[in-house]
Structure 1
Amino acid sequence: MTTRSLDVAKNFDSPYEPYELPYLTKEQSLDLLLKKAFPYQDPTEGYPNNLSDLAKEFVEKCGGLPIALVVLGGLLSKQPPNEHAWREVMQKMNWRADASKVLLTSYEDLPFALKSCFMYFALFPEDHQIRARALIRMWVAEGFIPQINNGGTLEDTAENFLEDLVQRSMVQVKRRRPNNSILYCYIHDLLHDIAIRKADEHNFLTVSDDLRSCSRARRVALHGKELMEDANPNLRSLLCFNGIPNISRHRQLKVLSAVEGLKGFLDRSDRYEVLAPFRYLELQDCLDFNDFIGSKSLCFLQTLELHLTMSNLPESVWHIKTLRHVLLSEFSYSFGPPPSIHMRNLQTLAGMKPRLSWKYQRLPELPSLRELHMEVQDEFPWEVVVAFVGTLKKLETLTIRGVKREQENEIRENFKHVYFQGLDKWSSYGEFY
């Protein structure tokens, strides 16, 4: 029995564990392609040498996906075995549409909420390696994830959604964490095409080279150095992979991700202030983050991720009651929440240093914190760190940079899920969150 759903395979009455088919290697792909292209002969004997390079090009385009290779091989089997005929197939590439028809059934079988999550993949460039947790937080910010009364968070439900897409073979896992959660994921080119097509049909999002033609788009991905000159009253999400344009006038933005630099962030002569009701804000190389501070744009913020160098995070950020994730650059740690502050929704806090004022005043209250990644300098009172960690009853993952061996052992006695990394081997930003 074969199925695209791992759940179906697991529930099948069999004494054996399901075998999850991986993508084919280039050698396996070439072998399958030639068997389908030359079904009545041994391709290793009757295979024309002048088609060798073309066959390898076809294999590259199929990306190891068996259904694509089978459909393409069947198409080639109807053609004369010569370079001209095969090049015509290469130019027309009708086989992609045939393969897509098969894969489209997987999309149609998705529940309504999962369809939105799948179409969201169209915002990312083809073959892009996506950070799973960033994707999950975007889904939550967009409101795709329903509240389920099972004691878990929206992020837990979103993670289950992502695993569901993986089990259906619609999303591929690039790498997992030690706890088996997904670190990086991606989708095959053919499925990426389907995501773009369905998103276009439903006016769900737009991937554009010129935002002047996207004045009514709700979600936009910029993969180049495009312009955004006119205000878009409908724009909800903007993902930028090569700098972003002026966003002062786009007042409905909920998700803004500028992962490759921030250019022309605000027009200083613009009479508008930033009023967009951000839920998810990810910025890199931004010199104008302070333009947000004190603005109404942060009142509903859920995720703040800053890949930039700054001395300290402004105090007003810690008073945003909706904050769920604060992820700061590892290049310049900022002081954590001030004493006595209560942040009941905060689940992730990364890139922080403890405050000395915690020793003399009340510790901050973070009852929902699950992940903590911080730096402790040599002269800082260690008993304050121990006391602070002791208040985090839901803590699952702890990373402390700069601890000594005896300090590490003291923490390990009380927490089972602890990860320590030395100053000389501090892992990259995305490894943890």
Structure 2
Amino acid sequence: MKQNKAATIKDAEQIGASSSAAGGLVGEKVFKILKCRRYLIIMDDIWSVEAWDEIRAILPDDGNGSRVMLTTRLTDVAAYPDPCSPLHEMRLMDENQSCHLLRKKVFGHQDCPLELERIVEEIARNCRGLPLAVVVVAGMLSAVGENLASWKAIAEDVRSAVTSKGQFENILSLSYTNLPHYLRPCFLYMGMFPEDHEIRVSKLILLWVAENFVRCPNGSKSLEEEAKECLEDLIRRNLVLVNKRKFDGEIKSCSLHDLMRDLCVRKAHEGKFFLDFRGWHDRRYFPLAIRENQHRVSVSPSGLPYLSKIDSLTIHTILCFHGRSIAHMLERFRLLRVLDLGDVYVRSLPYELFDLLHLVYLAMYYLGRIPAAISMLHNLQTLTLHSMNAWRHFKAHWDCLPQEIWTLPQLRHLVFYGRLPDPEERTTSSLENLQTLFLSSHAICSERILRMIPNLRKLEIYCSGCHPGQSFLNNLVLLHQLVDLKLHSSLRNEIFPKDMFTFPKTLKTLTLSRVPLPWEELTVVGSLPNLRMLKLTHWACKGDTWETTEGELTQLEFLLIEKSGLKLWITESSHFPMLKCLVLDDCWELSEVPEGIGEIPTLELIEVKGIVRMSLVESAKRILEEQKEWGNDNLLVRCMNRQ
């Protein structure tokens, strides 16, 4: 029997580099040692596919069951050696797992003393599921023995106790050091958001674009698409946590682990990338080195008084979270490119705002008339003016943007509770770069306006007071780039004939809310060849029976019916050949899920929630049981009814 050999290579990068630099002498020696032996090699913390290629060349393959295991922080590197093998992805631990690991590291096989049990649970909870933090703090606890006072001191500030250890910081810093240079500012920027903040990806992407972090050298992708790829890259490197994903797999929100955010803030302060007032402990004393040459500021309410103490000549980004407006300070920051006031409500727009000629991104809570001075912000790409009481003003008069909005050729994203003005006859400019237009009156759907925003990709409009013969909705077909449309109406008791709509065939996502379209007229939607997601909310369709037709909705993957008076749904599995997810929410009149739904081969989830009949819940569970009997274990049924 051949001799077995177990080998551990702790630094794969160094071995690979040595074998190359030494003319292959090290590699040849390793090859001879392992030849004709069965070996298990563990390569810890490998950082590149090139390192694997170099090492792979010196590992003999004698077909004797030898194995190689590697650990890495990069998903792409993990998948590279064998794309067909499943990866074991390490996740953050829950509180029970953290407690178990902490006890094992501190006490081994012995029981934890009762007087320390509650402190163990508190410390484990404060490690926030990060195994490395648990291991580091376990080493500290072992060193102090069972001294209750020392344990309490560590429990009170686990993060400081952990990060004070140079080894821990060095390990985390490796992730940053190995980032490509174009990803470093994207990662550091996330540290500007508050601790435990759930970051909306849609907002993060626009901020990165405004900061010029992403560029499209070949022009084949939009800046926003390139930014999304950067975010996916940070996630693959396990630097960013995914909080929520959309059904189509796109990331909806993300966040940073507390300790990773601490790393961001430290690196940012070192390079004067941004100043985080929440992280500045002694606010009474600002050294000159802190005040000067800062580029970005992240400020909370407690930090507002200190904003006036920093050098304003180099500040080009201010992110505000909660608290009062900083409008009265704007005259100090003439070079601002990004101004995000978060959920700070601004009652009136100061004239100083329109002196910020470099402004690219502007976001705040504001409901009111926009002055003609907006034309002075000719570099503006993103204008987001949210309203805190939008629904209360739904039936109120819509404020109209000034004619000067047409003089902002760089505008890419516009969110405003109002409407675009009809361009004057002498207007020759257009918003050709506009991709997103949210929360605007249906009046924008005139043929002339739509031809002046030809590259729109996302549109959300409200049909307030929209009656047959007065609507321009059939002009939507002119938007040849539109992929996402949200259409709201306040006319629940009216009837919309289908000839009011002509949707562009490019649509992939469609949301109809309170749009009183008869169920039998839904063929205008079913004929869309690229539709992947359909959401029918708040009595979106009139009538009590929906009978679907084969050959429609052929690409639909997600269907939501919410707050509907639908009583009878007649369909077959062939009518939804690609459906993956069905959500029925507050369908209080619907008695059952059609049997044919369960026979759709692509179906992964049926979710029933809200106020519904028990017969609807039972029919969903019956479909699940039938599919299990047929050997289909891929279907999941979730029922969360409130009755």
**How far off is 1:72 after superposition?**
1.4
CA gap of 1:212–1:47, structure 2 versus 1, over 3 A, is: closer
Q: How does 1:195-344 map to 2 (within 5 A)?
A: 195-208=264-277, 213=286, 214=291, 216-225=293-302, 226-227=304-305, 228-229=307-308, 232-242=312-322, 243-245=324-326, 246=328, 247-262=330-345, 274-285=355-366, 290=370, 293-295=372-374, 297-308=376-387, 311-328=399-416, 332-335=417-420, 338=423, 342-344=430-432
Q: Distance in 1 between matches of 2:265 and 2:193?
A: 10
Q: Distance in 2 between matches of 1:380 and 1:178?
A: 34
Given that 1:333 and 1:353 are in contact with CA atoms closer than 8 Å, whether structure 2 keeps it comes out as yes
CA gap of 1:116–1:211, structure 2 versus 1, over 3 A, is: farther
- The residue number in structure 2 matching 1:349 is 437
Q: Distance in 2 between matches of 1:276 and 1:357?
A: 31
Stretch of structure 1 that moved more, 111-120 or 16-25: 16-25
CA gap of 1:380–1:341, structure 2 versus 1, over 3 A, is: farther
CA gap of 1:229–1:13, structure 2 versus 1, over 3 A, is: closer
Q: How does 1:33-432 map to 2 (within 5 A)?
A: 33-39=102-108, 41-42=109-110, 46-90=111-155, 93-98=160-165, 99-149=168-218, 151-208=220-277, 213=286, 214=291, 216-225=293-302, 226-227=304-305, 228-229=307-308, 232-242=312-322, 243-245=324-326, 246=328, 247-262=330-345, 274-285=355-366, 290=370, 293-295=372-374, 297-308=376-387, 311-328=399-416, 332-335=417-420, 338=423, 342-355=430-443, 358=446, 361=448, 363-377=450-464, 378-379=466-467, 381=469, 384-388=472-476, 390-402=477-489, 403-406=515-518, 408-414=522-528, 416-417=531-532, 419-423=534-538
CA gap of 1:206–1:345, structure 2 versus 1, over 3 A, is: same
Instruction: Please report the TM-score for the alignment, with normalisation by the length of structure 1.
Output: 0.86
Instruction: Please report the TM-score for the alignment, with normalisation by the length of structure 2.
Output: 0.59
**How far off is 1:368 after superposition?**
2.3
Partner SS state of residue 276, structure 2: strand
CA gap of 1:78–1:380, structure 2 versus 1, over 3 A, is: farther
Structure number with bigger Rg: 2
Q: Distance in 1 between matches of 2:444 and 2:221?
A: 34
- The residue number in structure 2 matching 1:11 is 80
Q: Distance in 2 between matches of 1:281 and 1:122?
A: 20
CA gap of 1:296–1:318, structure 2 versus 1, over 3 A, is: closer
The number of aligned residues is: 414
Q: Distance in 2 between matches of 1:252 and 1:273?
A: 12
> CA RMSD of the aligned region, Å?
3.0
Q: More strand by proportion, 1 or 2?
A: 2
Specify every segment of 5 or more residues in structure 1 that has no aligned partner in the other structure, as ranges. 428-433
Partner SS state of residue 149, structure 1: coil
Stretch of structure 1 that moved more, 368-377 or 415-424: 415-424
Q: Percent identity between the aligned chains?
A: 29
**How far off is 1:145 after superposition?**
0.8
Q: Which has the higher contact order (CA 8 A, sep 6+)?
A: 1
Given that 1:365 and 1:391 are in contact with CA atoms closer than 8 Å, whether structure 2 keeps it comes out as no
**How far off is 1:20 after superposition?**
2.5
Partner SS state of residue 258, structure 1: strand
Letter in 2 for 1:87: K
Partner SS state of residue 242, structure 2: strand
Letter in 1 for 2:161: N
Partner SS state of residue 78, structure 1: helix
